[in-house]
Amino acid sequence: MKFISWNIDSINAALTGTSVRAGETREVLKKIATESPDVIAIQETKLSKNGPTKKHLAVLQELFPDYEVAWRSSVEPARKGYAGTMYLYLKQYAPKVTYPKINAPEPMDDEGRIITLEFPDFFVTEVYTPNSGNGLKRLDERQVWDDCYRKYLQELDQQKPVIASGDFNVAHEEIDLAHPANNHHSAGFTDEEREHFTKLLNAGFTDSFRHLHPDEKGAYSWWAQRVITSKQNNSGWRIDYWLVSDRLADKITSAGMIDSGERRDHTPIELEIDL
């Protein structure tokens, strides 16, 4: 099976926007469509609490005619049009869709950050992990989130194998960002965030990309949008992951990034696994 995950940074802009960036984003969506994945996970949709509009759904239907849509948006008391997640999955499947709450600090559970698909023999779940923010103002809450999320994945893993993707908002090791020495106190590369990601892996999960490419340098999934030269210079971070239960690790056949051209910010990541 083939899976693709992407932090799209506003699906409304991607589907209805007229800017150059919106055009670049649609080209990436078209590229994803040509890959014919079984499941597409999308983070940071930024949709209203009512979800995709009729226009959004029409464009998605045009781009992905063979797929069903599941979505989750931020709801009160969380901020409007914030975070949010979505799945597109082939109509031939009929997974059970759940929208779990993990007892995270308020209002994180209301920010639409997790959707889970239950298939007969495995779970597929996606996450948009909270960013620790400017000045690390949300770092304490983020660490509680990490503990709650790890517990949730472990609970799934006790039932059947798990395939988890998303924007985890952490570069795990120094090899996972271009300038580690300058970022030890930056959100996404603090000791605390990295230690929690290590705990997650040690709880029974495998980083699919590093499993196949243990020593590959310069492989990133995010480049600062506001820095024009970030992608030109490959000054990036790898903060998006496909994790699998350890017992599935030997079934991974491919894991990597999909080229998003000149578009900065996140690029889609891909997993192929023999299930």
Contact in structure between 41 and 72 (CB atoms under 8 Å): no
**Is 167 annotated in the active site?**
yes
DSSP string, 102-167: --PSTTGGGS--EEEEE-SS-EEEEEEPPP--GGGTTHHHHHHHHHHHHHHHHHHHTTS-EEEEEE
Give the span between the Cα atoms of 96 and 118, in whole angstroms.
5
Q: Is 195 exposed, middle or buried (0-12, 13-18, 19+ CB in 10 A)?
A: middle
Give the span between the Cα atoms of 275 and 261, in whole angstroms.
31
190-197, long-range: CB within 8 Å, 24+ apart, which pairs? 190/132, 190/136, 190/139, 192/139, 192/142, 192/143, 193/132, 193/139, 193/142, 193/143, 193/146, 193/169, 194/170, 196/143, 196/146, 196/147, 196/150, 196/170, 197/146, 197/168, 197/170, 197/172
Which of the residues 38, 167, 176, 265 is marked catalytic?
167
Tally DSSP H helices, then E strands, for the chain: 6, 15
Residue 42: phi, psi to the nearest 5?
-125, 130
Q: What is the CA radius of gyration of the chain?
A: 17
Residue with tokens 């779990």: 100
Which of the residues 82, 128, 152, 220 is marked catalytic?
128
Give catalytic residue positions.
Answer: 128, 167
